[in-house]
Chains A and B, each alone.
Chain A
């Protein structure tokens, strides 16, 4: 993470700005390289998103929720059966849920906001 920023800046690949809303509801605005997965972007920017299987479509811990209107405009590829299989096991599944490891950042992602789902039981309610 630290130390890679300077080499990144030198690369020609385009950057866009993406917002993450983390588990606690806090917003982080980060720079994302076009072509990277949202899981990579989260990891590179210390966004609190797990990726237990490291992007191999074997868990649901990089589950992200898109805003419905933004998802519509982004025209993402439909999720594969394998991605849907994993999403079936995710917490807080919504219609706009996707796995961060399967979503590659495109230029059209400029300014979008994705949320890390809150866990089921909110301990602050105790």
Chain B
């Protein structure tokens, strides 16, 4: 009933809709015709994807490409699609967000549906998805962040880098963060790309940010920022940093800001350069050049940033009797190369305090289990899997031999591999997972489900539970309003941060 109503609505919209919105609507209509009149719907493989970020959409893309009949439904907890492509990629990296155009093309395919505002695990259980779909692929990423578990992490002025990113990027859950940027010195703990994103946003001239799709509420706060110095601190050395060279190069070129590194950290490393393999080599060369190049230190910039190494935070401290961060106590580390070639940090017992008024914790993201049906490796923070096929591993057997597959259940992206790599990494992973799912469908490894399939089944379940999905056409209304609001402010987009407002726009009837 629900699905029939929905399709009638789509058809009606397609007939009355404007020309520029035509493609998406016609493809929805084509799907309606092909599903209703063409191939018997129950013959088609139905694949459900949980999560609409890069992992979800690249996996969907591969399945649609490799299987000419498969129907793919992409579920998303929020009313809006694209996950970290919308909420993670920095606002001053609009080029990286171009992948959204490809995801939009995928979503507009007549065999693909975006089904937003549905919280899998809560609104609909994974078991129900497994009953409705021939295959379910978990692509919900890594939404939590790692903590140190040291005293003082909850002091005022201490933030999760992830929450800060969510805040300036308009993630509804972080929209009330209101970070206090009245301090002159900020410390970021951790040396990955999120760290450099946070540093760049803190140190960028405000005019540079005004032209981006950074949220207005963030711009207002950042305009008043007093931050002049950012220390980026890692527990190991320059050869173990996690950030990548593009982000580093960008920081070295940031207007009005200079990189001040301690040459001592780099003199010995420079001698090792010839023996370092390529990706790490060029990155290290750039750090050495920045550290040892006299000319950069002549730059008359007011703002500066610095990499500090071999320091593990022990405690975050407030002034006596206060609740606001005033310094970080570090233990100085020695680095010891292990037999497997990895480098471990060992505390020397020497302590050192770094005064600051703002701290970001940026030591990585981790996934969480969303449904008690999903096995979860809490230690690694990933779903246990063999090449993307979700498995239950016996806890007594570490060799991984004693495993059983959960038929039809897969995972892809960060929830599979941990939060590592750039978009190409996630893309490759998604393509492989998608290919694997299609192979399993074609080989008959996946048992086909009953006669009622896919969203036909889930849609009526959701309806009976009072959950109202947001479809791609409805997202496009939100998208249009965001772009209109952005253009009034001279920026590409002003994101809507209230879920209720997103829903109001999505459900609003045309013409009003």
Chain A interface residues (CB < 8 Å from chain B) = 23, 48, 50, 52-54, 56-61, 63, 81-82, 84-86, 88-91, 93, 119-121, 123, 126
Contacts of A86 in B (CB 8 A): 246
Contacts of A54 in B (CB 8 A): 95, 98, 101
Task: Answer whether A93 and B432 are a contact pair too, CB < 8 Å, given A50-B102, A59-B424.
Answer: no
Question: Among the interface residues B96, B99, B431, which one has the most CB atoms of the partner chain A within 10 A?
Answer: B99
The closest CB in chain A to the CB of B97 belongs to A53
Q: A119 CA to B246 CA in the complex, in Å?
A: 22
Is A89 touching B249 in the complex (CB atoms < 8 A)? no
How far, in Å, is A23 (CB) from chain B's closest CB?
Answer: 8
Is A58 touching B245 in the complex (CB atoms < 8 A)? no
Beyond the given A52-B102, A56-B98, could you list 6 further A-B residue pairs with CB under 8 A, ordered by the A residue number? A53-B98, A59-B99, A81-B249, A89-B244, A89-B424, A121-B432
* Interface locus among B167-175, B277-285, B367-375: B277-285
**B439 within 8 Å of A (CB atoms):** yes
Is B423 touching A52 in the complex (CB atoms < 8 A)? yes
Is B427 touching A50 in the complex (CB atoms < 8 A)? yes
Specify which of B245, B279, B386, B423 is in contact with A61 (CB 8 Å cutoff).
B423
How far, in Å, is A52 (CB) from chain B's closest CB?
Answer: 4
**Chief secondary structure at chain B's binding surface:** helix
Contacts of A126 in B (CB 8 A): 386-387, 436
Per-residue A-contact encoding for B74-115, CB less than 8 Å = 1, 0 else: 000000000000000000010110110110000000000000
The closest CB in chain A to the CB of B96 belongs to A58
Is A88 touching B423 in the complex (CB atoms < 8 A)? no
A-B contact pairs, 27 of them (CB 8 A): A48-B65, A52-B96, A52-B98, A52-B99, A52-B427, A53-B95, A53-B96, A53-B98, A54-B98, A54-B101, A56-B98, A58-B93, A58-B246, A59-B422, A59-B423, A61-B424, A85-B246, A88-B278, A88-B279, A88-B282, A88-B283, A89-B424, A90-B424, A93-B278, A119-B428, A119-B431, A123-B432
Is B95 touching A85 in the complex (CB atoms < 8 A)? no
How far, in Å, is A27 (CB) from chain B's closest CB?
Answer: 18
Q: A23 CA to B66 CA in the complex, in Å?
A: 13
How far, in Å, is A14 (CB) from chain B's closest CB?
Answer: 30
Contacts of B249 in A (CB 8 A): 81-82, 85
Contacts of A81 in B (CB 8 A): 249
How far, in Å, is B365 (CB) from chain A's closest CB?
Answer: 18
The closest CB in chain A to the CB of B277 belongs to A93
Q: A63 CA to B427 CA in the complex, in Å?
A: 13
How far, in Å, is A12 (CB) from chain B's closest CB?
Answer: 31
Q: A111 CA to B376 CA in the complex, in Å?
A: 51
Contacts of B245 in A (CB 8 A): 85, 88
Per-residue A-contact encoding for B413-429, CB less than 8 Å = 1, 0 else: 00000000011110110
How far, in Å, is A48 (CB) from chain B's closest CB?
Answer: 8
Is A91 touching B424 in the complex (CB atoms < 8 A)? yes
Contacts of B279 in A (CB 8 A): 88-89, 93
Contacts of B435 in A (CB 8 A): 123
The closest CB in chain B to the CB of A124 belongs to B439
Task: Answer whether A120 and B422 are a contact pair too, CB < 8 Å, given A84-B282, A86-B246.
Answer: no
Nearest 9 interchain pairs by C-beta: A56-B95, A58-B95, A52-B99, A88-B279, A54-B98, A119-B428, A85-B245, A85-B246, A58-B96
How far, in Å, is B411 (CB) from chain A's closest CB?
Answer: 14
Contacts of B386 in A (CB 8 A): 126
How far, in Å, is B187 (CB) from chain A's closest CB?
Answer: 27
Task: Answer whether A59 and B387 are a contact pair too, CB < 8 Å, given A54-B101, A88-B244.
Answer: no
Q: A121 CA to B101 CA in the complex, in Å?
A: 27
The closest CB in chain B to the CB of A91 belongs to B428
How far, in Å, is A70 (CB) from chain B's closest CB?
Answer: 22
Contacts of A93 in B (CB 8 A): 278-279
How far, in Å, is B239 (CB) from chain A's closest CB?
Answer: 15
The closest CB in chain A to the CB of B439 belongs to A123
How far, in Å, is A99 (CB) from chain B's closest CB?
Answer: 11
Is A57 touching B95 in the complex (CB atoms < 8 A)? yes
The closest CB in chain A to the CB of B435 belongs to A123
How far, in Å, is A5 (CB) from chain B's closest CB?
Answer: 21
The A-contacting residues of B in range 245-281, CB under 8 angstroms, are 245-246, 249, 278-279
Q: A33 CA to B173 CA in the complex, in Å?
A: 49
Q: A86 CA to B387 CA in the complex, in Å?
A: 26
Q: A126 CA to B437 CA in the complex, in Å?
A: 13
Per-residue A-contact encoding for B437-473, CB less than 8 Å = 1, 0 else: 0010000000000000000000000000000000000
How far, in Å, is B28 (CB) from chain A's closest CB?
Answer: 21
Q: A7 CA to B449 CA in the complex, in Å?
A: 48
Q: A59 CA to B96 CA in the complex, in Å?
A: 7
